[in-house]
Amino acid sequence: MAPDQLKIRLDFYETTVVAHFCDNGVISTRVVSARDVAMALLGETNLISGLLPRETLCWGPGQIALWVEPRVWPIALMTEPFKPPRRMRLPMPGLIFVCRPGQPPYVYAAKKRPHDMQAIVYYAPLFNTYKDGRTCAGTHKYPDKLEDIPKSFFISFFTPAADTTNRSTKYPDNLLKLWEELDGKTKYPYDDLVPMCRLQAIFGKRSGLSNRLVENLPVYEPGDLEDE
């Protein structure tokens, strides 16, 4: 077998990418765009996603954003260790689940199904959810099938864990009061949602190469975002 021929060598500096082109022993060098390098490599990559759930909003490397229509969810809330959970039936707004197989999702709320990446996203009025939308799995095991993750999230036990402040306009410091008020009702009060950011911010900043947290996620005050 003939030895493989070196054609191009790339050197990545802090702000520059330099390409060295080898042609019959003659080497030429020039600065190239990192974007052009990425696009050239992607030309050799099959990015077909395969069949996606019908509720899919958008997808990126290793993750899919699913839209879940407003509905009433049966919920079990553990308020005290070693005691039976409180059983509630809570109306929830439309929810966006950013999912990876077998991993706890990120969850956000919306007043309607987003139609573009500039749609307003709201904090999910849920326990087990952190400020950036990340959820706490505890001992709960999530399925590999992405479309099953939202249901799996709601059948897990909720606890007064994570940061639950500013999830409600009416009860900014007590999410449990909101849940108690909603228990048994059929519709969520959309005026009570607290705006967070745009869909692009929550989906575009998350790397598909790891499960690291969203960094530098912009946080908005209620008056900063124009209502939909």
Residue 131 domain flag: yes
Residue 151 domain flag: yes
Q: What is the pLDDT of residue 227?
A: 57
Contact of 150 with 67, CB cutoff 8 Å: no
Tokens for 199, please give them: 């869909």
| Domain extent for 27 | 8-42
Residue 200 sits in the same domain as residue 168: yes
Residue 51 domain flag: no
Residue 143 sits in the same domain as residue 117: yes
Residue 210 domain flag: yes
Residue 138 sits in the same domain as residue 36: no
Residue 26 sits in the same domain as residue 116: no
Residue 73 sits in the same domain as residue 163: yes
Locate tokens 């999530």: which residue?
Answer: 142
Q: What is the pLDDT of residue 118?
A: 87
Give 99-150 as a 3 state SS string. ECCCCCCEEEEECCCCCCCCCEEEECCCCCECCCCEECCCCCCCCCCHHHHH
Residue 124 sits in the same domain as residue 205: yes
Residue 148 sits in the same domain as residue 193: yes
Residue 12 sits in the same domain as residue 112: no
Residue 137 sits in the same domain as residue 171: yes
Residue 29 sits in the same domain as residue 89: no
Tens-digit pLDDT string for the chain (228 aa): 567 788 888 999 988 899 998 888 788 898 988 877 877 776 655 555 666 777 888 777 668 889 999 999 999 998 887 889 899 999 999 999 999 888 999 999 999 998 888 899 999 999 999 888 989 887 889 998 888 999 999 998 998 867 788 999 999 999 999 999 999 999 999 999 999 998 888 865 444 333 333 333 444 444 555 555
Residue 12 sits in the same domain as residue 98: no
Residue 38 sits in the same domain as residue 151: no
Q: What is the pLDDT of residue 208?
A: 36
Read off the pTM.
Answer: 0.70
CA distance 210 to 189: 36
Residue 212 domain flag: yes
Residue 197 domain flag: yes
Residue 192 domain flag: yes
Residue 49 domain flag: no
Q: What is the pLDDT of residue 202?
A: 82
> For the chain, how many structural domains are there in total?
2
Tokens for 80, please give them: 């005290």
CA 113 to chain centre: 15
